[in-house]
Amino acid sequence: MIRVGVVGATGYAGAELVRILAGHRGVELSLLTSRQHAGAGFSDIYPSMAGVVDRPLEAYDPESAAERTDLLFMSLPHKLPMALVPDLLARGKRVVDLSADFRFRDAALYEQAYQPHSSPELLPRAVYGLAEVYREEIRTAELIGNPGCYPTSVLLPLVPLIRRRMLLSQSLVADSKSGVSGAGRSPAQATLFCEVAESFKAYKVGTHRHTPEMEQILTREAGQPVALTFVPHLVPMSRGMLTTLYGRAQKGVSSAAVRDCLADFYRDAPFIRICPDGRPPDTRHVRGTNYCDIGVHLEEKTGRLIVMAAIDNLVKGAAGQAVQNMNLMLGLPETEGLTAVPAPL
């Protein structure tokens, strides 16, 4: 049995990893780390899992981590993983990193958005873990830069349409809306219940760090520079993300053709569901799951293509996609651990 560790297990994405891995039949959870809660049991911090995952949380120790695991998920704030990953790779471990540290091929792009990169030599070895798109490279990767939640919701619908030239890669707008869990579990005034309830607003307008991450991939796929207008918004709900994309369809393309293009591109992708005409995706329909639901509307009067994608920001946008990537890396069924029946509400 493959032994896996979760480094940073008590943030929301880390805890979601624990939830998924605890129900995974192909791997064994052998390490949970937490700087803040070392010594406590996991279920002391997340009592929902009492009796299910009670394993103690430990401080991270590279020696011990390497000894007791075969593959590690890094669920830490950016900047921390790039300090720990080189050692793990050197010890022959495989790593799925949920931070931004290994999502960029070009260190300069990373450094513009984040800070100096201490291990730029690893970037060419890392694979961008957009599972349905880069599946083949992921299978053999030793290091995955797991995509951000916003990029996942933007790229899954766009990449096929750009590759197959249904959509002009210029003049794209992504208007995204995220539940609050994306902001993490650290105490902050901005995410207090009373600040978020009955509130809807944009934030980091035109300056969000996920923008260069998306532009990098769009540029790669389009074969020419792509500038994306991206505006994230905060929704008073815990989980879920909806992105509404506005672009220009190629001349002559119909709504059905776009839907068919996506359906065909994702015909072997069990987590992508194309919504029927007239039923736009809803975050509630993907809550707690690894699905990405995609809807399409071509506006005749303007020739504008409207594409909507709904994911659970913590699952397909983080932990679920990370496990999907692990499954690919380990040659396990792609859906293993990710097939819990979705809840009706």
Q: Could you say which residues in the range 182-201 bind a copy of itself, by CB under 8 A?
A: 185-189, 191-201
Record the tokens describing residue 223, joined without a space.
């074969």
Q: Stretches 45-53, 124-132, 140-148, 259-267: which one binds a copy of itself (CB under 8 A)?
A: 45-53
Distance of CA 58 to the CA centre of its chain: 25
**Please, where are the H alpha helices in 78-181?**
81-90, 107-113, 135-139, 149-163
Please identify which residue in 55, 105, 139, 233 interacts with a copy of itself, judged by CB under 8 A.
233
Query: Computed over its alpha carbons, how large is the radius of gyration of the chain?
Result: 20
Altogether, the residues listed in the chain come to a count of 345
261 is catalytic: no
* Least gap, CB of 28 to a copy of itself (angstroms): 14
Number of residues that bind a copy of itself (CB under 8 A): 86
Q: Which is nearer to a copy of itself, 127 or 166 (CB)?
A: 166
Q: Which is nearer to a copy of itself, 203 or 220 (CB)?
A: 203
Please identify which residue in 2, 80, 109, 237 interacts with a copy of itself, judged by CB under 8 A.
237
Please identify which residue in 4, 32, 53, 88 interacts with a copy of itself, judged by CB under 8 A.
53
Does residue 136 bind a copy of itself (CB under 8 A)? no
Looking only at the bridges linking them, the beta strands covering 241-248 and 172-178 are antiparallel
Does residue 344 bind a copy of itself (CB under 8 A)? yes
- What are the DSSP E strand ranges found in 45-93? 71-74
Q: Which is nearer to a copy of itself, 70 or 175 (CB)?
A: 175
Q: Stretches 43-51, 86-94, 106-114, 216-224: which one binds a copy of itself (CB under 8 A)?
A: 43-51
Nearest residue to 294 via CA among 263, 335, 325: 263
C-alpha dist (Å) from residue 266 to 50, 157, 273, 293: 38, 10, 8, 12
Strand partners, 96: 73, 144
* Least gap, CB of 93 to a copy of itself (angstroms): 25
Does residue 107 bind a copy of itself (CB under 8 A)? no
Does residue 345 bind a copy of itself (CB under 8 A)? yes
Backbone angles phi, psi at 40, to 5 degrees: -75, 160
Does residue 299 bind a copy of itself (CB under 8 A)? yes
Record the tokens describing residue 189, joined without a space.
């005034």
Contact yes or no for 95/85 (Cβ under 8 A): yes
Task: Name residue 238's amino acid.
Answer: S
Catalytic residues: 149
